[in-house]
Amino acid sequence: MPPPPHLSFAQSAYHELSLYSHIPAARQPQILRVISGITGMLPETTLEHHLVYKPKRPRQLGQNMELYYLQLISIVPEEQKHGEVEGGYDVKSQKWRMRLEDVPEPTRKPVTSRNVLGAGFGEGDSLGLVDSLGFMLQTNYFMTVSTLIHNNIIITLSQVLLPPTSHAAPNAQYGNPYPTSGLQPLDPARSWVLRAAVRVQSHQDLESINTGVNELKGFKELMRGMCGLEVVERLALDTRVR
Amino acid sequence: MVPLLADHLGKCHQPLYTGKWALEHRLLQKTIPSGTSAASPTTSSSPSNNQSPQTHQQLPAGGNYMQYLDLPHYPQRLIVSTPSAIVTLDREFELLVRSKLSALWSPRQTLRGEGVVYEVDDFKVRIANIMQGDVWKGVLVEVEYAPCSTLAVAEGVIRGFVEGLGWPAGRFTFVGKGGGKRAEGEEWSVLDTGRQYCEVLRMGWGG
């Protein structure tokens, strides 16, 4: 079944405007309740599997040419409690999507602004294809994401999780989320990231950009006192390979 | 050439003309990764259909070319093929490669095909002239037989149909997942069709 279209990674190519906030672990349930109240909906929570790939550097890199990290993302299905099914997670039969996020543009806008490109795989060996495109698996992680929608804003509260390391299992380099109770937050303080994002089709569509920026500013005002939504330092979101 | 083949088809059967069709195929070459030996990223022009192991060894791991195939009868996605993998992917993949992977991949060859589609009983026959710009590269024919989903059985049926047409001798391609070695009872998927097209349309690239 395809994921609902509003989920954070389901679209293909767009320009994204966003604001971020750091949420301490103790505040997360309250923040989630408040946003649930604002949006009038319950959060939709999924577990995503992320694979981060680094390109192999070509012998000659042309002028003005950049290399970018590439991600594969899929939704981890709910764990089946069938005792006899060992391992249960097949990384190769997951429905993967490719995502390449551009470095945020230098801008004076009061929001982070970047291009996102992506494409969903259908049939075939997606992991094999990415290998043959000239990419090496760099790291893997899981992310629990609660998604809510407020007008045009996609609001996500997310936490990066790591599986316990096991080198013996086949495909161990990709990571295995099962049992999901074994996943541990990357951040020992168990904090969360709140992100409010608006997608527009093109960065040249100034009218939509302005609408998006204004909606984000409005949401930031709405959340004032609860959490501070900020522009993230551009180079902290740099996806270029150095 | 397309009218000639269509004429042959008409003399043997009562084909039903169902319309025009067009395909697009692009071949990209990988830039040489640092750390590989100086073996040239060649376009071995040998027309040999048998992939000898030697030509494979010259390729960097994973091969050095990628093919996109856009077929109107599978409109949802592109078929993307490299020497080691074949998948279907959203069309936006082309934009992603063009705008962000240009340091890794450069376009080398674009082929376009235009032609006609006929139905003959349970067979669909697609015939197209293949052009590279204004240069005619040949004629491509796809014969589809839908009632059967097992590759091994379908191959015999399709081969028999093609041979019965008395067409000028051409190259018949029928490559399963394991190259020549077909697994028992292997079922057809769109990737099998993609694999045949990519095999024919790469025109000798990569050996």
Which residues does residue A113 pair with via DSSP β-bridges, in sequence order? A17
CATH value at residue A107: 2.40.320.10
pLDDT single digits (tens) A189-218: 999 999 999 999 998 999 999 999 999 999
Residue of B37, B100, B191 best to disrupt the A interface, most CBs of A under 10 A: B100
Query: What does the pLDDT average to over B27-48?
Result: 55
Cβ(A74)–Cβ(A49) below 8 Å? yes
A71 is in which domain, residue-wise?
9-237
**Looking at beta carbons, which residues of chain B come within 8 Å of A134?**
30, 33, 62, 104-105
Domain B2-204 has CATH 2.40.320: yes
Phi, psi of A123 (to 5 degrees): -90, 160
- Banded pLDDT at B182 (limits 50, 70, 90): low
pLDDT single digits (tens) B149-168: 888 888 899 999 999 988 88
Closest CA to B60 of B87, B28, B37: B37
Phi, psi of B158 (to 5 degrees): -70, -40
Which residues does residue A97 pair with via DSSP β-bridges, in sequence order? A73, A120
**Structure-token pair, residue B124:** 């669909």
Q: Kindly report the pTM of this predicted structure.
A: 0.87
**Structure-token pair, residue B104:** 């890794």
More confident residue, A23 or B188: A23
Q: Check B77 against A122: CB less than 8 A apart.
A: yes
**A2-6, A89-93, A171-175, B126-130: the lowest-pLDDT one:** A2-6
- pLDDT > 90: percent of chain B: 55
More confident residue, B179 or B43: B179
**Structure-token pair, residue A132:** 């043959």
Which residues does residue A121 pair with via DSSP β-bridges, in sequence order? B89
In this structure, is residue A1 part of a structural domain?
no
Q: Provide ipTM, 2 decimals.
A: 0.89
Task: Please state, as a whole number, how many other Cβ atoms lie within 10 Å of the Cβ of residue B199.
Answer: 16
In this structure, is residue A87 part of a structural domain?
yes
In this structure, is residue A137 part of a structural domain?
yes
Phi, psi of A31 (to 5 degrees): -60, -45
Q: How many domains does chain A have?
A: 1
In this structure, is residue A4 part of a structural domain?
no
Query: What does the pLDDT average to over A141-166?
Result: 95
Query: What does the pLDDT average to over A9-18?
Result: 81
Separation between Cα atoms, residue A72 and residue A100, nearest integer Å: 9
Separation between Cα atoms, residue B129 and residue B113, nearest integer Å: 5
Task: Please state, as a whole number, how many other Cβ atoms lie within 10 Å of the Cβ of residue A62.
Answer: 11
pLDDT score for A128: 96
In this structure, is residue A242 part of a structural domain?
no
Tell me, yes or no, if A179 comes closer than 8 A to chain B by beta carbon: no
